[in-house]
């Protein structure tokens, strides 16, 4: 399966085919009995440079989908972070607490956010994620234009 792209105007957001996705713009990739989660290129493009990241839950806890787990600040947004699927939180990427710029520098690699044991329910295939992006892109564009005004 080859990687996909989603065009955000003239910017092409890279969507690797070797992982799953969530509607809150996180990718999920199996890693040692759990899944690593991180922001997609789509999310990173909208956020731009992340300069603050904090977690409001501890490691080694069970989380519900939609539960608040942290917050971030970036050049373009301040936002709470929510658990994308129900599961057991294994660990956070501690390196990002010291330097959250790793999120943008290596989005699909060392910029991962946390590891969660999940059963895979609620995750989207790359194709499903692209279709989701297509369905929300018009609203996203309007939102961006309003923020610029």
Read off the DSSP letter of residue 41.
H
pLDDT band at 145 (very low <50, low <70, confident <90, very high): low
What is the mean predicted confidence (pLDDT) over 41-65?
A: 94
Domain CATH code at residue 18: 2.40.50.100
87: helix, strand or coil: strand
Residue span of the structural domain in which 69 resides: 4-148
pLDDT in tens, 13-35: 999 999 999 999 999 999 999 99
pLDDT in tens, 62-108: 999 999 999 999 888 889 999 999 999 999 999 999 999 999 999 99
What is the mean predicted confidence (pLDDT) over 45-61?
A: 93
Q: How far is CA 26 from CA 99, 100, 102, 111, 124, in A?
A: 19, 16, 15, 12, 10
Q: Which residue has the tokens 């564009």?
A: 141
Answer whether 92's CB lies under 8 Å from 81's CB. Answer: no
CA 99, CA 88: separation in Å to the nearest integer?
A: 25
Check: pTM over 0.85? Answer yes or no. yes
Count of domains for the chain: 1
């Amino acid at each position: 399966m080859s990687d996909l792209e989603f065009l955000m105007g003239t910017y092409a957001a890279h969507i690797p085919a070797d992982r799953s996705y969530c509607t809150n713009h996180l990718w999920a990739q199996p890693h040692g009995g759990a899944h690593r989660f991180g922001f997609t290129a789509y999310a990173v493009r909208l956020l731009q440079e992340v300069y603050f990241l904090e977690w409001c839950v501890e490691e080694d806890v069970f989380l519900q989908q939609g539960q608040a787990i942290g917050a971030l600040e970036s050049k373009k947004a301040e936002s709470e972070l929510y658990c994308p699927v129900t599961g057991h939180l294994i660990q956070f990427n501690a390196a990002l607490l010291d330097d959250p710029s790793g999120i943008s520098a290596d989005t699909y690699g060392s910029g991962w956010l946390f590891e969660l044991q999940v059963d895979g329910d609620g995750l989207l295939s790359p194709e499903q994620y692209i279709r989701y992006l297509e369905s929300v892109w018009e609203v996203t564009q309007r939102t961006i234009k309003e923020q610029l005004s």
